[in-house]
Amino acid sequence: MAMAIDPGQTGTAVPGGRWSRLARLGSLAGGVAGNMLAEGARQFIQGKRPTVHDLLLTPGNARRLAGQLAQLRGAAMKVGQLLSMDAGELLPPELTEILSRLRADAIPMPMSQVVAALEANWGTGWDRHFQQFSFTPVAAASIGQVHFAQRKDGRHLAIKIQYPGVRQSIASDVDNVATLLRLSGLLPKSLDIKPLLDEAKRQLHDEADYRREGACMMQFGRLLTTTGEFLLPEMHADLTTESILAMTRLDGVALESLVSLEQDERDRLVSQLFSLLFRELFEFKLIQTDPNFANYQYARASRQIILLDFGATRAYGNAMVAAYRRLMRAAIAGDRDEMNEAAQDIGYFQADITAHQRQQVLDIFALACEPLRHDGVYAFGNSDLGARIRDAGMVLGRDRDFWHTPPADALFLHRKLGGLYLLAAKLKARIAVRDIALHALSGSISELS
C-alpha cells in the first residue's frame, strides 16, 4: 500500500544489509532499555512501583519503536502497520497511536539510492528509455516508492521501486519484531504465533516480487475487462523486474475523499466494490487482500474506479470458499447451527474451545454479517457496527485462554471486508448489501428467508 508524501520531505537511506538492519533493531532495544531504567527511577522517586509492562510502553519508547520501523521500512514497518490496523483497541493506547503513524508516515529514499536501484535493475544508461523521469516520489510505502516517468514514445508511466534489502530481510525482520512483542508482554506466552509468522513471511515475499504483482494486476484486468466499471494499469513487461514494477500511469482522486459527491454516485461506487469482493471470493477465488483506502481512486471523466496495488493478491482454495459460502448463507438465514459448522470448517475453533467462547465467536460473525441480513438499504453512515464489532472483539480478546491464530486466509479476508465497511461508513454509503450478497451466492431471498 502506498501513501502520498510531502514533496519537501528529505529522503533517508534504507539500511540494505542484514547486519545494518539488525544493528538498527539492536539500537532500538538498547534505547528502549535505557528509557525503561530512566522512567523506572523517576517513578520510584515518586513512590510508585511500576511494572515492566508499564515501563516498556511509555510514549517515548513507542515513538522510538515507530521511528525505527519507519527507517527500516520493509517487513519491520509492515508488521507495525498490521499491528495498528488489526490489533486496534487490544493494544495500549500509546502504542496504538504511535503505530498508526506508520500507515501515513512515509520517508522516501534519497536520489542517490534511487539511482543506484535503477542502475542495479536496468543497467547503466537506463535513462535511454525515457523522455523524462521524475526523481521526486509521488507515493511511498513499507516496501517501495512510486515515481512518474514518460517513455520515448510518449506513454506515461508510474514506476514502483523497491527499497534495497527488503526481500532479503523479511525473515529476520518479522522474527525480530515478533521478539519485541514477546518481550513487551503484549502477546501471551501460550499463544503459538509461529504459523502466522510463517504465513506473514510468505505473504511479504509475494508482495516483494514485483513480477508476480504485475502478473496479478494483468490477471485482474482480464477478469474485469467486460464490466467497464473498473480501470487498472497495464504492466510494461520490458521494464519490470523483481524489484521494479513499471505500469501505465492512471490519474484519479482518492475514493475516500469523495464525501461531498452526490449520494447516488457514492452508493453506486461502494456497491461496485462490494460486488467486486464477492466476485473475488466466490467466482475468481482470488482476492486482493490489502484494505488500504489508497488502493481505490476515482476517474471523474469516465466515472470508473481505479484499482491499484496487487502485491497482496491471494488465491483461495475450493474448501475455504465453500465454507465461507455456507457461513454467509447461514448468517443471512439466521441459522446458528449451520454458522457453527461453517466456522468449524474454516478453522476458527480449537479443540479445547468452551461453549461460551464458541457462542462469542458466532456473535461476532453475526454482527459482521448484519449488513447482509438487513432487508433493504443499509445506511453505513448511521451505523455503529464497527464499534460494536470492536467491543465484542475486545471482550473475547481479554480472555487469553481463547487466544489462538485463525487461518491466514480468514484473517486476510476479514481485513479486506473490514476495510470495505470502513470505506462505506466514511462515504456514508447506503447499500442493499443483502441483494448483492444473494446474487453472488447464486441464491434467492425465498430460499434463505
As annotated, the active-site residues are: 290
Helix 408-426, helix 74-86: angle, nearest 10: 70
CA dist 449 and 446 (Å) reads 5
CA dist 366 and 364 (Å) reads 5
Question: How far is C-alpha 422 from the geometric centre of its chain's CA atoms?
Answer: 13
DSSP letter string over 373-441? H-SS-EEGGG--HHHHHHHHHHHHHT-TTT-----HHHHHHHHHHHHHHHHHHHTT-EE-HHHHHHHHT
Angle at 193 between CA 191 and CA 194, to 5 degrees: 130
Go through the chain and tell me how many residues it has.
449
User: What's at 140, amino acid-wise?
Assistant: A
CB 438 within 8 A of CB 448: yes
H/E stretch holding 268 reads helix 263-279
Cell numbers for 91, please give them. Answer: 493494544
CB 64 within 8 A of CB 28: yes
Q: Annotate 1-21 with b (16+ C-beta within 10 A) or e (fewer).
A: bbbebeeeeebeebbbeeeeb
- Write out 181-238 in H/E/C secondary structure: HHHHCCCCCCCCCHHHHHHHHHHHHHHCCHHHHHHHHHHHHHHCCCCCCEECCCECHH
Cell numbers for 25, please give them. Answer: 533493531
